Structure 1
Amino acid sequence: MDLLEYWRLRERPFEPTWDTRFFFQGRAHDEALNRLSFVVGEQTMLLGMLTGEIGCGKTLTRAVFSRQLARSHFHVITHENSAFSFNDLLGLTLRALLDEGTPLARTKAARWMQFEHTLARLAAENRHLVLIFDEAQEMSASTLNELKLLTNLNGDGRSFLTLILVGQPELRERIALCPAVNQRVSLRFHLDALSLEDSANYFSHRLFAAGHATGDLFDPNAVERAFEATQGVPRALNRLGKLALEFAWLHEYPRVTYAAVDAVARDLDRHQTLLIA
Structure 2
Amino acid sequence: MYLDHFGFKRHPFRMAPEEDFLYMSRQHSRAFVFMDSAVWSPEGFVVISGEIGSGKTTLLKKTISDLKDSVQLFHIAYTNLQGDDLFQVIMQQAALKVAEPNKVTMLFAINDYFKQMAARGKPVLLAIDEAQNLSHENLEDIRMLAGMEGPDGPILRVILLGQPELKKHISDIPQLTQRVKLFFHLEGLSPEDTKHYIYHRLAVAGFNETNLFTDDVVSAIHEHSEGIPRLINKISDGLLLCAFAEDRKKLQIEDIEEIRDELLVSSDEMPESHGNHTSSKASQGTVSVDNSDSALNRIADALERIEAKLFPEESAEEPTKIKIFEEAKRRLQDKK
TM-score by length of 2: 0.73
Contact 2:38–2:159 at 8 Å: present in 1 too? Answer: no
Of 224-233 and 116-125, the range deviating more from structure 2: 116-125
Q: Does 1:229 align with 2:224?
A: yes
- Output one character per residue of 1:127-147: Cα deviation in whole Å (capped at 9) or x when no partner: 111111111111122221222
Q: Match of 1:268?
A: 259
Contact 1:76–1:132 at 8 Å: present in 2 too? Answer: yes
What pairs with 1:213-252 in structure 2 (closer than 5 Å)?
213-214=208-209, 217-252=212-247
Q: State the superposition RMSD in angstroms.
A: 2.3
Q: Does 1:164 align with 2:159?
A: yes
Q: Match of 1:19?
A: 18
The Cα shift of 1:116 comes to: 1.5
Q: Match of 1:83?
A: 80
Distance in 2 (CA, whole Å) between partners of 1:111 and 1:8 is 55
The Cα shift of 1:275 comes to: 8.1
What letter is aligned with 2:35?
L
What letter is aligned with 2:56?
K
Distance in 1 (CA, whole Å) between partners of 2:250 and 2:243 is 7
Contact 2:98–2:106 at 8 Å: present in 1 too? Answer: no
Contact 2:73–2:125 at 8 Å: present in 1 too? Answer: yes
In structure 2, relative to structure 1, the CA distance for the partners of 1:215 and 1:121 (3 Å cut) is farther
Q: Match of 2:194?
A: 199
What letter is aligned with 2:91?
L
Q: Match of 2:143?
A: 148
Q: Match of 2:58?
A: 60
1:51 corresponds to which of 33, 37, 49: 49
What letter is aligned with 1:132?
A
Identity of aligned residues (%): 25
Structure 2, unpaired ranges of 5+: 268-336
Of 263-272 and 233-242, the range deviating more from structure 2: 263-272
Q: Does 1:94 align with 2:91?
A: yes
What letter is aligned with 2:93?
A
The Cα shift of 1:232 comes to: 0.8
Distance in 2 (CA, whole Å) between partners of 1:274 and 1:122 is 46
Distance in 2 (CA, whole Å) between partners of 1:275 and 1:28 is 26
Q: Match of 1:127?
A: 122
SS in 1 for 2:181: strand
In structure 2, relative to structure 1, the CA distance for the partners of 1:201 and 1:272 (3 Å cut) is closer
What letter is aligned with 2:214?
D
SS in 2 for 1:181: helix
Count matched residues: 267
Contact 1:83–1:136 at 8 Å: present in 2 too? Answer: no
What letter is aligned with 1:37?
D
What letter is aligned with 2:25?
G
- Output one character per residue of 1:101-130: Cα deviation in whole Å (capped at 9) or x when no partner: x56751111111111221122122211111
Q: Match of 2:179?
A: 184
The Cα shift of 1:159 comes to: 2.4
In structure 2, relative to structure 1, the CA distance for the partners of 1:86 and 1:119 (3 Å cut) is farther
SS in 2 for 1:14: coil
What letter is aligned with 1:54?
I
The Cα shift of 1:244 comes to: 0.8
Q: Match of 2:318?
A: none
